[in-house]
Every structure is written in C-alpha cells, then in structure tokens.
C-alpha cells in the first residue's frame, strides 16, 4: 500500500470514529439527564472525552504522516505517541471527576435514579457502536502501526466494559424499585460509576505509560532479542555488540554494531552490513537500521594476518608480509610503501612506530624487519612493441618454457618507454591440478631467467592459467650437469 492510500484510509477511519463519538455523547447525555443516572452521565462524560481523544487522533495521524525534514530527520511519527499520552491524561481526569461525584452520592447526598427502557437501549447501542469502531480502529492500527489509533481502539474496548457495568447498575436499581428493596439497591448506580472510573483509570494509565515509554525511547519488548539473533546468524559476523531501538509512530529505527574479522576488506565489511540489514528487515519489515561494523581479531587469523591487520589500522600500506619462527620467538618481515618525496628520517620513524605497534599486538613477535620502498607510481605512458619485436617475443617464450618446466605462454606482450627499458606481461598455462605452491615456484623461476637474460627488464607480470587437457608439454628432464632446479 502506497503512502497516499494509507493516509486516506487513516483519515477515513479516524473521521468515522469522530462521527460515532459525537452520536454516542448525544445519546448518553440525553438518557442521563432524563433518568438522573450518574452511571449514564459518567458514561456521557467518558464518551465526551473519547470524542476529544478521537479528534486528537485524527489530527495527530495527519501530522505524523508528514515526511521527514531537516528539523525532524526521524519524521513526525512521535506526534502519535504524544497524542496517546494526552488521551490517557484526559481519561484520568475524567475518572477522577466520576469518583468524586460517586463518593458524594454514596456518602453525602442521595440522588434518586429513574430507570427506563431507553437507558438500557442507549447503553446497548453504545456497546454495539464501541465494538464496531474498536475493531475498525484495531485493524487499521495493525496495518499502519499507528499508536494513536491503537490508543483510540483501546479506549473503545474500555467503553464496552464500562457500558456493561452501567447496565448492571441500572438493572440493580430497577430491581430494587420493583422488589421493594430500593434502599438496598439505591446506591448501586453510584457504585457502578466507581467501577467505570476504575476501568478508565486502568486503561488510561496503560495508554499513558505506553506513550511515555516510547517517547523515552523504551525498546519494544522481545524484539531486541530477535533482532540480535538474526544479526548474529549472518555469515561473516563474529558477534553482535549492541542493538539499540527507538520507535516513532509507525516507524522503527535500529542502531546495530557488529564485529567482523579485522582482516576483512572495506568492500567485504560493507557487504556484511547489507546482509545484516536484510536479516533485520526479515524479522521486522518496517525496520530502518544503521549497521556499524567493528573490526576485531578472529581465531582464524594467522600471524601474517595479524601483521597485515595492524598495518591497516596503522594506516600504513604494506605488502609481502611474512612471519617466521626463529627459536622460541617470532620474526616478521614486510615491505612498507611510503611517498616518493618523504625524507628518510620520517620514513624510518614511520617504520619504527609500525614495528612497535606490531610487537604490542603480538607479544610473541620479538623482531620486525621492514623494507622501506617507494609506493607504486601513477600511471605512465608506455608503447607496446609486441608486433615490432617478434624475435624478442620468441626468445621470451622459449626461456619461459625452459625455466617454467614446460609452461606454455599463449600470450606475451612487451612494452617500452622513451628511455631504455623493457616491461612484459605473460599469460602462461600450467596443469590444472598443479598445487599453487608449485605454480608460484615455476613463475619465480621464469622471472629469474628473464631478468638474467634481460637486465633492463623492469615491471614483469606472469599470469598463471589452467591449461586445457593435452596442451601442456611435459617438464624437461634434468641431467646431473643441468644446474636448473627440478
């Protein structure tokens, strides 16, 4: 249901409620004045307050439907909660006035009550009308999560009960008149009014407490636990650290903090937060959540992962992080990338601070060896010379096949700059079942052989691909005089 349709339905339901309240006030007041029944007059006062409450509901629902703006970023929904509190206070005032008058009639002044069939008819009509509009408002409140309409519906359910109590009081008074026991039942109507007042107190107190609780950011009961469990079950989430809820009219907002492995990339962390949002909306579709991701250590971290994670937290760019066991302690080595124009002293200080942070994070890490290098330069202009230097391409392919133990390079690209120098990109096929450790060793052998043959070779990329069956040459057989490793 779109917002415009929902708004029209809310307006229609609340207007019908106002019209019904006007009719009931007129009926009850007329019957009460004709019979002198305090129960009927208290019911008329109760219905008059209900009329005021219905008018408040009508306007509060309209205001709550306004869109969020700069001054109300969470929307205007809490107007409905405020309206529910006002309704509760109005009803408490009415209950106090009824109790006062009932006590006066019970203990101070006797006011005769004239019962008539019309009094019973009016209260019967009241019960039917209250039952009808209570159901109508309850359904609308559930569809649109409207606190003001829910409060109105609760009022009318209380009206049904209090009307029934008034009927009992009138019936006892009529029985006393007809049985000659009027003295015994003379004050039954006032006693019924007190019961009505007590019902009003209970219902209005509940309404006011609900509204005040929401205005004070009281979380909906049991929902927090369900949301916590849903967020914790999301893959990639190590733990849920906080779930904070606040309600505003028909909208529900949540601030959720989840822990993810600190080695997670920014893109992966963002994807995890979106999965958490989806899981929360599956529990409560109207929820609008803000998910904060907290990086924490995980049990699956390796020693190298810890080095990488600390460097990321240190805002340092590193690569080739390695950790080795040396005797009874650990020793780490890594490459630290710094700006080309950074003075050596500042670069060394940065490396020293990083080393201290790494040792603080891992007490077993006693030594940190840092290779300081210049970060990758920006994109530079280079010329592809693959076609122009076909002989050179053939030489590269032969060296790669020999050094790589039968590696077949199906694509070789060569590049040169204005100044002397050579760069290359190779796409080479290896057996699909070959372990990556062996693939890496063979690509390193290819790189070493090419650099030995071409000292001017600069940047080199060797991309390993799984070869199709039958397209991989067997590795060359080494002889005792062959210096190449096998």
The DSSP result for 429-475, as a single string, is EE-TTS-HHHHHHHHHHHHHHHHHH-TTEEEEEEEEEEPPTT--PPP
139 vs 352, more confident? 352
Q: Which helix (H) or strand (E) holds 325?
A: strand 317-326
Q: What does the DSSP 8-state code read for residue 206?
A: H
CATH 1.20.1510.10 segments of the chain? 3-215
Strand pairing of 422-430 and 457-466? Answer: parallel
pLDDT band at 476 (very low <50, low <70, confident <90, very high): very low
Whether the per-residue pLDDT at 218 is higher than 60: the answer is yes
Which pLDDT belongs to residue 276?
A: 95
pLDDT band at 259 (very low <50, low <70, confident <90, very high): very high
Q: How far is CA 170 from the centre of its chain?
A: 55
CATH 3.30.70.1350 segments of the chain? 223-296, 303-374, 383-466
Which pLDDT belongs to residue 39?
A: 62
Which pLDDT belongs to residue 274?
A: 94
pLDDT band at 240 (very low <50, low <70, confident <90, very high): very high
Which pLDDT belongs to residue 410?
A: 92
pTM of the full predicted structure?
0.58
pLDDT, tens digit (0-9, with 9 covering 90-100), for 363-389: 889 899 999 988 776 666 788 999 999
Q: Dig out the tokens for 279 from the structure.
A: 């899981």
Pick the CATH number of 383-466 from 3.90.1560.10, 2.60.40.10, 3.90.1150.10, 3.30.70.1350: 3.30.70.1350
Distance, first Cα to last Cα, the chain: 71
Whether the per-residue pLDDT at 401 is higher than 90: the answer is yes
Tell me the fold of 303-374.
Alpha-Beta Plaits (3.30.70)
**What is the layout of strands, in order, in the sheet containing 239-248?**
239-248, 251-261, 287-296
Q: What is the CATH number that goes with domain 3-215? A: 1.20.1510.10
Q: Residues 223-296: name the CATH superfamily.
A: Cation efflux protein, cytoplasmic domain (3.30.70.1350)
67 vs 57, more confident? 57
Portion of the chain with pLDDT greater than 90, in percent = 30
Residue in the block written with tokens 């007042």: 197
- Classified as helix, coil or strand, 297 is coil
- Classified as helix, coil or strand, 77 is coil
Which pLDDT belongs to residue 297?
A: 87
pLDDT, tens digit (0-9, with 9 covering 90-100), for 70-122: 777 676 667 777 877 887 787 787 778 778 877 876 776 665 555 567 667 77
| Cβ-based burial of 315 (10 A; exposed 0-12, middle 13-18, buried ≥19) | exposed
Lowest mean pLDDT among 5-9, 95-99, 392-396: 5-9
22 vs 484, more confident? 22
Phi and psi at residue 360, to the nearest 5°: -65, -35
Lowest mean pLDDT among 288-292, 454-458, 472-476: 472-476
pLDDT, tens digit (0-9, with 9 covering 90-100), for 417-439: 766 789 999 999 999 999 999 99
Under a CB-based contact definition with an 8 Å cutoff, are residues 113 and 35 in contact? yes
Rounded distance between C-alpha atoms, residue 42 and residue 48, angstroms: 10
């Amino acid at each position: 249901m779109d917002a415009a349709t929902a708004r029209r339905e809310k307006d229609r339901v609340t207007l019908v409620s106002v019209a019904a309240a006007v009719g009931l006030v007129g009926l009850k007041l007329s019957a009460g004045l004709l019979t002198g029944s305090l129960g009927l007059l208290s019911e008329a006062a109760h219905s008059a307050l209900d009329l005021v409450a219905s008018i408040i509901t009508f306007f509060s629902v309209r205001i709550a439907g306004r869109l969020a703006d700069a001054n109300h970023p969470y929307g205007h929904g809490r107007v409905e909660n405020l309206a529910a509190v006002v309704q509760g206070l109005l009803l408490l005032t009415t209950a106090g006035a009824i109790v006062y008058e009932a006590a006066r009639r019970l203990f101070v002044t006797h006011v005769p009550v004239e019962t008539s069939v019309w009094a019973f008819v009016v209260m019967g009509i009241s019960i039917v009308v209250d039952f009808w509009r209570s159901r109508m408002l309850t359904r609308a409140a559930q569809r649109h999560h409207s606190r003001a309409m829910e409060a109105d519906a609760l009022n009318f359910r209380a009206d049904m009960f209090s009307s029934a109590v008034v009927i009992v009081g009138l019936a006892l008074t009529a029985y006393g008149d007809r049985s000659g026991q009027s003295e015994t039942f003379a004050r039954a109507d006032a006693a019924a009014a007190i019961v009505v007042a007590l019902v009003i107190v209970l219902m209005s107190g509940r309404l006011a407490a609900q509204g005040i609780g929401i205005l004070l950011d009281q979380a909906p009961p049991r929902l927090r636990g369900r949301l916590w469990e849903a967020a914790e079950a999301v893959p990639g989430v190590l733990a849920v650290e906080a779930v904070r809820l606040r309600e505003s009219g028909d909208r529900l907002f949540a601030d959720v903090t989840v822990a993810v492995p600190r080695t997670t990339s920014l893109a992966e962390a963002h994807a995890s937060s979106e999965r958490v949002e989806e899981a929360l909306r599956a529990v409560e579709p109207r929820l609008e959540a803000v998910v904060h991701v907290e990086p924490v250590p995980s049990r699956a971290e390796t020693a190298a992962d810890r080095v990488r994670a600390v460097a990321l937290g240190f805002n340092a760019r590193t690569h080739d992080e390695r950790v080795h066991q040396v005797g009874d302690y650990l020793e780490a080595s890594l490459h630290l990338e710094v700006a080309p124009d950074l003075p050596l002293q500042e670069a060394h200080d940065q490396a020293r601070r990083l080393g201290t942070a790494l040792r603080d994070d891992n007490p077993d890490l006693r030594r940190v060896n840092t290779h300081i290098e210049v970060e990758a330069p920006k994109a530079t202009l280079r010329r592809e010379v693959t076609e122009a230097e076909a002989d050179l391409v053939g030489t590269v392919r032969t060296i790669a096949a020999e050094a790589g133990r039968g590696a077949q390079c199906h694509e070789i690209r060569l590049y040169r700059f204005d100044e002397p120098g050579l760069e290359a990109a190779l796409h080479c096929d290896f057996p699909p079942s070959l372990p990556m450790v062996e693939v890496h060793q063979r690509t390193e052998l290819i790189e070493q052989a090419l650099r030995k043959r071409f000292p001017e070779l600069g940047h080199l990329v060797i991309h390993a691909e799984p070869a199709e069956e039958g397209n991989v040459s067997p590795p060359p057989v080494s002889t005792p005089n062959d210096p190449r490793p096998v």
